[in-house]
Amino acid sequence: MKRIVFKVGTATLYENGKLSDRMDKIVDLLAKLNKEYEILLVSSGAVGAGYTKCPLDKSKLENKQALAAIGQPLLMREYKERFNKYNVVVAQVLVTAADFDSRKRTDNAKKMIEVLLKNKVIPIINENDSVSVEEILFGDNDQLSAYVTYYFDADMLFIISDIDAFYDDNPKVNKNAKPIKLVSEIKNEWLNQKCNPNDKFATGGIVTKLKAAKFLMDNGKCMFLTSGNKLDSIEDFLNGKHTSGTLFCKEKK
């Protein structure tokens, strides 16, 4: 693999309304991997960051847009300070779903991404919630990260979440639920489950991750799901050892 996309969710970055030390560990990992791979980071957290400064009701679209506008520079500052310790330059890239509906806009974005990666700059990508409207929202960064992986020619997507794998049953309800290490087909009944984000600022859940995986698998790419508390599983996987986490990938015939 040469080019890898990482997606980090709000519930991974924030804990009890404050930034978690998981952000430091994620930055440590990505700075290290940036020496060997081309790294793109899709990061949630702007709305959560905005809320720490201005506690608006995010159920209203205009409030959520305002929170994103407040929080995005705060989030970028946190990343910039941490990556700066490793002399890694980061760039903010804000996109909307409409950017992937236009071949010209997608090509322009791709050219810009190529320049950043060529110069070892890590693009930090988020949905431009402050100007998006309901009709052109991705709705969650799981979907966005899948599109980034496909349209920007990455080899694979790693989703760093608050769940460590995909299970054969709901592990919060069934203590005997077992993690599935390899998923080669996404079943329709999985996609029809109720979406269950764990954080009040999160918009995803396991269903959105399954949809992201299906999109990539349908387009010949793979996705790996693991927890922000088990970052070693990512390095293990890149070194050829699947110790934990779930790989979503169609079996080669």
Is 129 annotated as ligand-binding?
yes
Is 102 annotated as ligand-binding?
no
Between CA 73 and CA 107 the distance in angstroms is 26
Is 203 annotated as ligand-binding?
yes
Distances (CA, A) of 97 to 14, 105, 109, 140, 147: 25, 11, 12, 11, 9
Please give the single-letter amino acid code of residue 109.
A
Is 204 annotated as ligand-binding?
yes
Is 206 annotated as ligand-binding?
yes
Three-state DSSP class for residue 26: helix
Between CA 193 and CA 191 the distance in angstroms is 6
Residue 10's Cβ-count burial label (10 Å; 0-12, 13-18, 19+) is: buried
Is 207 annotated as ligand-binding?
yes
Is 246 annotated as ligand-binding?
no
Q: For tokens 């269903």, name the residue.
A: 207
Q: Are 221 and 252 in contact (CB under 8 A)?
A: no
Q: Are 179 and 165 in contact (CB under 8 A)?
A: yes
Between CA 59 and CA 39 the distance in angstroms is 33
Q: For tokens 């809320």, name the residue.
A: 51
Is 104 annotated as ligand-binding?
no
Is 192 annotated as ligand-binding?
no
Count CB-CB contacts under 10 A for residue 15: 14
Is 59 annotated as ligand-binding?
no
Task: Please enumerate, by residue number, every residue annotated as part of a binding site for substrate.
Answer: 44, 129, 141
Residue ranges at the known binding site for ATP: 7, 161-162, 203-209
Which residues are annotated binding-site positions?
A: 7, 44, 129, 141, 161-162, 203-209
